Chain A
Amino acid sequence: MSPRPVRLRKISNPPLVSGFKPYGTMKGTPVADIVFLHIEEYEALRLCDFEMLNHHQASVIMDVSRPTLTRIYARARQKIAQALVRGSQIIIEGGKIYFDSEWYTCEACGCYFNDPEKKEAVRSCPLCKSSSVAPWDEEAVRQDEFIGQCNDFCVCTVCRHEASHTPGIPCKEEKCPRCGGQMVRKGTPHSKKF
């Protein structure tokens, strides 16, 4: 039986460079193999470590499941560590991917346009230069809401009060702002005991 086909990963921002080369290699060191970093691994690394999103949020953006995103991310880190330690060249290419960008609509001239560059927020229509533009894609709006649902929350074990989680501070060290009780991470099996 052949394995299940790989789900295509959505790439919102293609990398600016196609690779990295080491410099200052010492004489006599053998030239290390090239590390091929897939574009999906670059994107996972960008979302998790550059945009500082959690794996759940990043998985929604890349249109894969959360465990898959974690595997892609782990592979990316392993490959980059390998390249750094061995001093090998990194080439960013390949992977099961598709590119995507969001649609906008202009109310003044009635056109639809997309924004593949994504350097800054879209403010004016590229055709008629009017500023009455709005995101068109309903799915993108829904996705934004869904990413909101993936945010982490701490929940109080005493009064069930929910507060948004601060990255870097373990939930159990937080005190409930309402009753001063102990907080736990919402949604974990542990939190359901209380």
Chain B
Amino acid sequence: MTIDWTHFTPWTALAGGILLGIASAVFILVNGRVLGISGILGGLLVPRRSDASWRVFFLLGLVLAPATLSLLAPGLISAPRIEAGNLAIVAAGLLVGLGTRYGSGCTSGHGVCGLSRLSPRSLVATLAFMASGFATVYVIRHLL
């Protein structure tokens, strides 16, 4: 294994991670909700009375994050570099949408919140999607 020192950004990674942790902690303590993006979005696709507004307000905040942060601290945002072609993007979206709903969570719900509450179920889910992510990148970058 070789470490990519030129792209390694431990401090911004840690700072951003701490913000993710604070947001997740505030959400469960103040609102009594688990911060899982796939569950929050997926729950909107089957409209239930009285259950939609908190999801909408959370997502509204999420959507306004780039505009507000670029006003406050533009230097903190790095432009995304996307290698995948359109076909791969569509396939990826379908797999992520289907998989996160079947598995009841994604990187936020299982990875951050689930591990934080020491859930064995979320640990299994996190190990599964990490392993699958490692394997997929290995196949694409080193076998194909």
Q: Do A and B truly interact? A: no
- Give B residues with C-beta under 8 Å from A: none
- Give A residues with C-beta under 8 Å from B: none
